[in-house]
Chains A and B, each alone.
Chain A
């Protein structure tokens, strides 16, 4: 990362720490939601953006994580154990969902994962003995860590922010390790990757499993954030929304999900000034964005930064020439 990037990230971190003190509770709730969905989007960015495996199941994994945590904590398990359990469960199921990806790719894989999302939705809605069906689960309590209660909106936001920081750091580490290179190789040219000794089967399954477990962890935070979960929240809409976040932010760019989630969570709220039309305006903005900037917002920013740098170098060369003359 260059100096400009470090300054931008530093400013964003300070902003993220200060901003809850400037917002009303609903605003704090929204930025908490931003943090939670960003974790899920980081997972999808790993599976789709880096490893190139399309998935329309990310929302379903958020649902599995949310239900796992809600059911486990209400059965008396401590939250940290339920949290780890939700992520692990999604890791295992995600690994299983990776198997179809070994056989089919692209839009075929999209439909396999879409069917999985529908299946999860049906289980959540119909298996009342386990999930309480359409009534959902209410009264999900926010956890207390070593005497620090996260019941307040601001406290819970800091819990979300802490989790986001930890998961981003872990993902950053993984992507800069040889695994990151292997995932990109899987996306760009699996046949060549295989001939260079990459066990593409294992990396594909791993990309699905880790991506899904991040969605599971996001779900495990989503449940106590919203405090009421029901099957509809995790139907196809959420998976499409997460896909939109990754693509609008910039698929395969590390900071893509952070920016994409800002667009998906905050933009509709700001658009409320247009009253009844806010979703239409939002949809139009998204269409324009994708038509003119398919590499996403972070891709656009990178291009702009590069242009500025080239400009600056050219100016420097020009002025050096002037001096030498």
Chain B
């Protein structure tokens, strides 16, 4: 299997605090990799360094073998790497449809050809299909601001898929989503994964969500990877239980 994303010895320090401390891993084509870890373990910082939102203090990132360390997020996105953020990030004043068209339009032609081209950049149908796929059809012309939190989370995820990315990094997709919506979201992500053979990396706190969705899991604590394996292996790993519940907890199991 080919490697889509390779992260080698990545480091990020903020002043005296090292948030990510020499992390190396790779993401293989078609897998869903979960990254878990306690709050403050450096998960989001890791994402931000991989995706160019932050400049890493050291280490390297390769996408499909190409070095992308320190590349701007917009250029990285046009290479086929897409993401969602921990906090909800849709464009509240735009309609659901416009949010999705926006998420794909920069991949269509050049900036100047878009000015003279079609208003929907030729993405109207693709947007409608994506809306249908995520079961938001009844909301297509609503402003994103008027959607419920769970619906906005779905839209947020749909936007990350709009440009047909090679790799999608999802930062806490299930955060703050109610149980019904959670099942819906997981099922949509799985459906998308099997239909398009997409590759995902998912940061998540919701253990059941991770265990059901991911094929492989990395555990981060204090900026380092402390465990790696299948969801079953991770569940019974004493180092993981220590990191989450404090040292010694594993022995009482």
**Using Cβ atoms and an 8 Å threshold, which residues of chain B touch A304?**
none
A-contact 0/1 string along B113-134, CB 8 Å cutoff: 0111101110000000000000
Stretch at the interface among A68-76, A181-189, A214-222, A262-270: A181-189
In whole Å, how far is B95's beta carbon from the nearest beta carbon of chain A? 10
Query: Quick check: is B35 within 8 A (CB to CB) of the other chain?
Result: no
Chain B interface residue count: which class?
A: 20 to 34
**Using Cβ atoms and an 8 Å threshold, which residues of chain A touch B93?**
184, 188
**When chains A and B are docked, how far (Å) is the Cα of A231 from the Cα of B84?**
50
**Using Cβ atoms and an 8 Å threshold, which residues of chain A touch B53?**
191, 194-195
Query: Quick check: is A199 within 8 A (CB to CB) of the other chain?
Result: yes
Say yes or no: A194-B94 contact (C-beta < 8 A), given A182-B105, A189-B89.
no
Which of B77, B111, B117 is close to A195, meaning CB atoms less than 8 Å apart? B77
Stretch at the interface among B21-29, B96-104, B234-242, B244-252: B96-104
Q: Do B91 and A202 have beta carbons less than 8 Å apart?
A: no
Which of A174, A179, A193, A195 is close to B83, meaning CB atoms less than 8 Å apart? A195
**When chains A and B are docked, how far (Å) is the Cα of A166 from the Cα of B33?**
54
Query: Quick check: is B56 within 8 A (CB to CB) of the other chain?
Result: no
Considering only CB atoms and an 8 Å cut-off, how many residues of chain A contact the other chain? 22
**When chains A and B are docked, how far (Å) is the Cα of A164 from the Cα of B36?**
57
Q: Do B117 and A177 have beta carbons less than 8 Å apart?
A: yes
**Using Cβ atoms and an 8 Å threshold, which residues of chain B touch A176?**
119
Query: Quick check: is B220 within 8 A (CB to CB) of the other chain?
Result: no
Q: Do A197 and B106 have beta carbons less than 8 Å apart?
A: yes
Which B residues between 69 and 108 are near A, CB-CB below 8 angstroms? 72-74, 77-78, 82-83, 85, 89-94, 98, 101-103, 105-108
Query: Quick check: is B221 within 8 A (CB to CB) of the other chain?
Result: no
Q: Do B117 and A178 have beta carbons less than 8 Å apart?
A: yes
Query: Quick check: is B163 within 8 A (CB to CB) of the other chain?
Result: yes
Which B residues between 133 and 181 are near A, CB-CB below 8 angstroms? 159, 163
Query: Quick check: is B51 within 8 A (CB to CB) of the other chain?
Result: yes
Query: Quick check: is A198 within 8 A (CB to CB) of the other chain?
Result: yes
Which of B77, B91, B111, B120 is close to A185, meaning CB atoms less than 8 Å apart? B91
**When chains A and B are docked, how far (Å) is the Cα of A181 from the Cα of B99?**
9
**Using Cβ atoms and an 8 Å threshold, which residues of chain A touch B74?**
194-200
Closest to B123 in A: A178
Q: Do A182 and B115 have beta carbons less than 8 Å apart?
A: no
Q: Do B73 and A194 have beta carbons less than 8 Å apart?
A: yes
**Using Cβ atoms and an 8 Å threshold, which residues of chain B touch A174?**
115
Q: Do B107 and A197 have beta carbons less than 8 Å apart?
A: yes
Say yes or no: A192-B115 contact (C-beta < 8 A), given A178-B121, A197-B78, A198-B106.
no
Say yes or no: A177-B83 contact (C-beta < 8 A), given A188-B92, A189-B89, A196-B103.
no
In whole Å, how far is B179's beta carbon from the nearest beta carbon of chain A? 27
**When chains A and B are docked, how far (Å) is the Cα of A196 from the Cα of B155?**
14
**Using Cβ atoms and an 8 Å threshold, which residues of chain A touch B159?**
196
Q: Do A196 and B102 have beta carbons less than 8 Å apart?
A: yes
In whole Å, how far is A202's beta carbon from the nearest beta carbon of chain B? 7
**Using Cβ atoms and an 8 Å threshold, which residues of chain A touch B85?**
191-192, 195
**Using Cβ atoms and an 8 Å threshold, which residues of chain B touch A198?**
74, 102, 106
**When chains A and B are docked, how far (Å) is the Cα of A253 from the Cα of B163?**
29
Closest to A179 in B: B115
21 contacts between A and B (CB under 8 A): A177-B114, A178-B108, A178-B115, A179-B114, A181-B94, A181-B101, A182-B102, A184-B94, A188-B91, A189-B91, A191-B53, A191-B89, A193-B102, A194-B53, A194-B73, A195-B53, A195-B83, A195-B85, A196-B77, A197-B74, A197-B107
3 tightest A-B CB contacts, nearest first: A197-B106, A197-B77, A192-B89
Chain A residues close to B by CB (< 8 Å): 174, 176-179, 181-182, 184-185, 188-189, 191-200, 202
* 16 new A-B contacts at CB < 8 Å, known A188-B91, A196-B163: A177-B115, A177-B119, A178-B119, A179-B111, A185-B94, A185-B102, A188-B94, A195-B73, A196-B82, A196-B102, A197-B77, A197-B78, A197-B163, A198-B106, A199-B111, A202-B111
